[in-house]
Structure 1
Amino acid sequence: MTEERHDAELAQEVERQSTRVLQWRFVLNLALMVFDALTYFAVGYLVMSRSHEMKLLSTRLQLHWSINPYLYLVVCALIWIFCCHVTGVYHRHVFADGYQLNMLLLKAMFVCWVSVCALNFVIQSNVSFMTVCLTSLLVWIVEMIVRMVARLFLTQRHRKGEYSYPTVIVGSPEGIGQILKFLNQRKQLNYKPVRVCPIRVNERTGLIEADPNVGLLHEEVKKSWGKPIRIVDYGDDLAERIAETGAQTVMVTDVLDRFSDNLSTFAVQMESLNLEIALITSALDIAEHATQMRNIQGMSIMTISLPQYSPSAKVKKRIFDLVVSSLAIVLSSWIMVIVAIAIKVEDGGPVFYKQERIGLRGKPFYIHKFRSMRVDADAHLKEVLEANGQEMGARYKLTHDPRITKVGNFIRKTSLDELPQFFDVFMGSMSVVGPRPQRDFEVEEYDPVYATRLLVKPGITGPWQVSGRSDLNEEESRQLDVSYVQDWSVLGDVVYILRTVGTVLRPSGAY
């Protein structure tokens, strides 16, 4: 009875937590919508007042009808809210990602700008084009600032376990342990594990069943989470029992393979009770591929493709690289001159350093950087690694490399040593954004999945540079690189460039 009473109390607590989260999400979204509307109204009013356009007229049908300016601004504010909603600004999964949210705000503002321009064309108002543009720009800036403040508050609350979605984790004991470790390291994410459900595949029938290795599960939970989590046994009524706990999300780590009947059956059972499925997938999962179903003489065929590898997308990528690299070379030329002089003055050695790296589809090329190490650094790499108890490999780390010069230490921390690579981008051997190019002995260690990073041009900056750099473990860095191959886009590259600026201003993990 004591255990049953404990389960009932825990279920009630989870139910209360779930209710609080739903109420919080409703209140937050409502507050954001009201604020967004007021922001657009206020900014529009100020801009129109400054430009002396508060006396609105419509010349539709050559008539000079008077338009209430406040009603006009209310309509524009409603258009702004609708555009934010359509582009996903209010979605809970993007609120914690500042760069992604800012890009969605930019996308919403562009759609709103087009819509307001269309409105002015239809009603033939005397609002100038410059007023619409200035209003849109100022609203976007204000919204980014407000979202940043709100995100800091929310992230702090998430780390304290508040406003988190009660979650049941389903998978093998090892898979459950891995995801618990991930969630424990990133408490700003809004998932709060309240139950775990260990499962395995019956080798004879191929069906899913409960994993009886409870001892291994408790060990994994203790090691990864630090405190016990109640187990919910797998069975036909699993969805009902999960729903009774008040959980909102079911996170699947492994065992249930993508596109399998086991997963399809499991997902339908959960979704029929309005439970959200969060599926941990491989970096090469085909969900991001464009799919097309065809029926040929009674046979259904699904074709898949990645749109970003089309000829037109590659041309856009190349144009983007040319524009960005040209601007970077021009704007940073004075910095490069100063760095070059500092390197030459320190030890009299060469300013630039070139090294053979492996590029697109395994073809070697020479990468150029400002020299940050002593002249004979490459010849001493092996002995330095041995002195630090490491071996030559794809992911060696040297927190304090004795080969780095004083100037080199500064330009590495600030990433100024990478500036000459914009010439490599301009010449076409590299891209502005992409996985970092590695040496031949590092590439030799690639497994088939990690080798897919060679399907795109290497970049000056990329996923792991803006996500912790050398502080990431091998698995995390590989996941980021492979994911980039799967879902890169020009807009995504813009996001990485913006995040790189933040990383340069607040460097971490740069050894």
Structure 2
Amino acid sequence: MPKTDESQANDSSEETRRELNDMRQSQLSHVLYWRFFVNIALACCDAAMFLIGGATVSNLRGETGPFWSVRFHLWVSDSVFLVITSCLWVWCLYRLGVYHRHVMGDGYRLNMKLFFSAVQCGLALCALVFLLDLRITLVNLILIVLAGFALTLLERLISRLYITRTRRHGAYAYATVLVGSPKGMAKTLRFLDRRQQLNYRTVALCPVRLNEETGLIEADRDVKTLQELILDKWPELKVIEYSEHGLAETFVREQIQTVMVTDVFRRFSDNFNIFSVRMESLGLEIALISSAADIAGHETQVRSIQGTTIVTYRLPQYSMKTRIVKRLFDLVVSSLAIVLSLIITLPVAIAIKLTDGGPVFYTQKRIGLRGKPFRMIKFRSMVVNADALKAKLAAETGQKDRFIFKMKDDPRITKVGHFIRRFSIDELPQFLNVWMGDMSVVGPRPPLPEEYARYNRVYATRMLVKPGITGPWQVSGRSDLSAEQSEALDVSYVQDWSISGDINLMFRTVSAVLSHKGAY
């Protein structure tokens, strides 16, 4: 009996669904395949580093075992003990998210997770030794953890360099389609080009626009703008036309794993909710480029009261307890820094005085917490009349409208000034500001009054925390950053700061100072 048109259409639809499912399964298998084996390889290397570190420490200290367990009346060989500790190390790394797919190439985030894993592993080892009642000294346990941590840091540095280098050729990254306006997608492409630690490999574009009359998202067919902003520079990217139905299936057929929304779609809107559900229902990951002032990272509580749903947002780092901890942290760090830096600050002060006989310190009016002015202290690195020359130089270099006035080969800087600015020694007296409470060790840089007066509404939120000696601006390129990049970093800090994050930024400061990137 011949098939009707309806049955043929059903067969064709079923065949399409089977084909799509097979392709999706093949795509997922490929992604899971390399991700699984990369994580297995990394876990084996992490365990090997801990084994080598533990064996080295035990042999150097002569605590090689076997170890006698008084409680269970058995001998535990040193080899068995080191294997157990290595497995415990890998387990701690797993618990802290070290093997998460978005962490493996992100250096600073990874290093902090390794640090907290070492702390957790050390505590777990102490508990294990106590329960088994093994005759192992506490010093030996601590040194084993430190050695394993140090070797794992080195191993991960090498593996990260390999992963980020191979990502430039498309390996160890997720095929990504950008969805948004041509301008938004171009901005995101420039950002992704500079961030090799991100595992997104852009393969396609889906230009969209908002129809103001209907309020719906539709395809943006402005080919000329797309060509000028993107395709002239990235001609290899494929353009996929947006459609209300079947778009997710198209992405799957193109073997795309991540859909990155750059703009146009507004969060919490019906347009975005419907779009994201359609993507996620086929296993596609949604990545959203949002404003630095976005509230996604806030602690959220949902309550239902008499049929009305109330969503409460809160930033937990602004609790009284956390504020007290941060102030104590600032007092301890600034006190230590003031005392320990005397070996550097005293010779520098003498050199500045001998250069031209002018004052050693330079105080400048800056704006602090919630717009409160204060006098910031620095070692003088410029000629005495530097402020008078600033307006003239700003006009000559075209920096009248920039928040941060910086120029290479600034003629106002003295010979001693070049040296102390290169190594950020001129910032050391600011620990006095921290000790007095005007500044924090970590935070956005304190602006000049004229800079503060020109802040927009978003950028002004950076003044909701104390300014810092170091912060996201100082460790991310300093003077080489554009005004837009500086703004995003500072506003993000207000939303995301934590004590552990501040410690992370302090360690990054050491790297930034030694590399001299953006320091002039």
**If the length of structure 1 is used for normalisation, what is the TM-score?**
0.92
- Per-residue CA deviation, residues 280-316 of structure 1 (Å, 9 max, x unaligned), is 1111111111111112222111111101100000011
For residues 24-423 of structure 1, the aligned pairs below 5 Å read 24-49=34-59, 50-60=61-71, 64-187=73-196, 189-222=198-231, 225-235=233-243, 236-391=245-400, 393-423=402-432
User: What residue is the counterpart of 1:8 in the other structure?
Assistant: none
Would you say the 8 A contact 1:15–1:247 is kept in 2? no
Please report how far the alpha carbon of residue 69 of structure 1 lies from its aligned counterpart in structure 2 after TM superposition. Answer: 3.8
Flag the 1:255–1:33 CA change in 2: closer, same or farther, 3 A: same
- What is the CA–CA distance in structure 2 between the aligned matches of 1:165 and 1:27, rounded to whole Å? 16
Flag the 1:348–1:184 CA change in 2: closer, same or farther, 3 A: same
Deviates more, 1:269-278 or 1:232-241: 269-278
Would you say the 8 A contact 2:52–2:148 is kept in 1? no
Whichever residue aligns with residue 209 of structure 1, its letter is E
- What is the CA–CA distance in structure 2 between the aligned matches of 1:496 and 1:154, rounded to whole Å? 23
Whichever residue aligns with residue 343 of structure 2, its letter is W
| Helix, strand or coil at the partner of 1:259 | coil
Would you say the 8 A contact 1:20–1:163 is kept in 2? no
Please report how far the alpha carbon of residue 19 of structure 1 lies from its aligned counterpart in structure 2 after TM superposition. Answer: 7.0
Deviates more, 1:262-271 or 1:336-345: 262-271
Please report how far the alpha carbon of residue 448 of structure 1 lies from its aligned counterpart in structure 2 after TM superposition. Answer: 0.8
- Per-residue CA deviation, residues 142-186 of structure 1 (Å, 9 max, x unaligned), is 111111111122222223443332110001121111111222333
Whichever residue aligns with residue 58 of structure 1, its letter is S
Please report how far the alpha carbon of residue 392 of structure 1 lies from its aligned counterpart in structure 2 after TM superposition. Answer: 5.7
User: What residue is the counterpart of 1:453 in the other structure?
Assistant: 462
Whichever residue aligns with residue 217 of structure 2, its letter is I
Deviates more, 1:180-189 or 1:114-123: 180-189
- What is the CA–CA distance in structure 2 between the aligned matches of 1:349 and 1:414, rounded to whole Å? 22
Whichever residue aligns with residue 357 of structure 1, its letter is R
- What is the CA–CA distance in structure 2 between the aligned matches of 1:169 and 1:393, rounded to whole Å? 31
Please report how far the alpha carbon of residue 23 of structure 1 lies from its aligned counterpart in structure 2 after TM superposition. Answer: 3.7
- Per-residue CA deviation, residues 432-471 of structure 1 (Å, 9 max, x unaligned), is 1111001111001101110001000000111011101111
| Helix, strand or coil at the partner of 1:287 | coil
- What is the CA–CA distance in structure 1 between the aligned matches of 2:106 and 2:275, rounded to whole Å? 30
Whichever residue aligns with residue 429 of structure 1, its letter is D
Would you say the 8 A contact 2:370–2:463 is kept in 1? yes
| Helix, strand or coil at the partner of 1:286 | coil
Whichever residue aligns with residue 420 of structure 1, its letter is P
| Structure 1: stretches of 5+ with no match in the other structure | 1-13
- Per-residue CA deviation, residues 84-110 of structure 1 (Å, 9 max, x unaligned), is 011011123222222221110011111
Would you say the 8 A contact 2:370–2:465 is kept in 1? yes
- What is the CA–CA distance in structure 2 between the aligned matches of 1:113 and 1:55, rounded to whole Å? 20
Would you say the 8 A contact 1:15–1:245 is kept in 2? no
**If the length of structure 2 is used for normalisation, what is the TM-score?**
0.91
Would you say the 8 A contact 1:18–1:247 is kept in 2? no
Would you say the 8 A contact 1:161–1:187 is kept in 2? no
Would you say the 8 A contact 2:63–2:136 is kept in 1? no
| Helix, strand or coil at the partner of 2:98 | coil
Whichever residue aligns with residue 126 of structure 1, its letter is R
- What is the CA–CA distance in structure 2 between the aligned matches of 1:45 and 1:188, rounded to whole Å? 33
- What is the CA–CA distance in structure 1 between the aligned matches of 2:268 and 2:68, rounded to whole Å? 58
Flag the 1:150–1:16 CA change in 2: closer, same or farther, 3 A: farther
Whichever residue aligns with residue 54 of structure 1, its letter is G
User: What residue is the counterpart of 2:15 in the other structure?
Assistant: none
Would you say the 8 A contact 2:65–2:76 is kept in 1? no
Identity of aligned residues (%): 52
Please report how far the alpha carbon of residue 270 of structure 1 lies from its aligned counterpart in structure 2 after TM superposition. Answer: 1.4
Q: How many residues align?
A: 496
Match of 1:474 among 483, 486, 493: 483
- Per-residue CA deviation, residues 351-379 of structure 1 (Å, 9 max, x unaligned), is 10001100000000000000011001111
- What is the CA–CA distance in structure 2 between the aligned matches of 1:359 and 1:460, rounded to whole Å? 12
Flag the 1:307–1:69 CA change in 2: closer, same or farther, 3 A: same
- What is the CA–CA distance in structure 2 between the aligned matches of 1:178 and 1:97, rounded to whole Å? 21
- What is the CA–CA distance in structure 1 between the aligned matches of 2:389 and 2:58, rounded to whole Å? 66
| Helix, strand or coil at the partner of 1:374 | coil
Please report how far the alpha carbon of residue 22 of structure 1 lies from its aligned counterpart in structure 2 after TM superposition. Answer: 4.6
- What is the CA–CA distance in structure 2 between the aligned matches of 1:64 and 1:207, rounded to whole Å? 74
- What is the CA–CA distance in structure 2 between the aligned matches of 1:134 and 1:115, rounded to whole Å? 14
- What is the CA–CA distance in structure 1 between the aligned matches of 2:307 and 2:172, rounded to whole Å? 50
- What is the CA–CA distance in structure 2 between the aligned matches of 1:155 and 1:392, rounded to whole Å? 36
Deviates more, 1:205-214 or 1:419-428: 205-214
- What is the CA–CA distance in structure 1 between the aligned matches of 2:397 and 2:189, rounded to whole Å? 31
Flag the 1:70–1:188 CA change in 2: closer, same or farther, 3 A: closer
Please report how far the alpha carbon of residue 124 of structure 1 lies from its aligned counterpart in structure 2 after TM superposition. Answer: 2.2
- Per-residue CA deviation, residues 388-422 of structure 1 (Å, 9 max, x unaligned), is 23316423332222111111111111111001001
Please report how far the alpha carbon of residue 72 of structure 1 lies from its aligned counterpart in structure 2 after TM superposition. Answer: 3.1
- What is the CA–CA distance in structure 2 between the aligned matches of 1:226 and 1:197, rounded to whole Å? 14
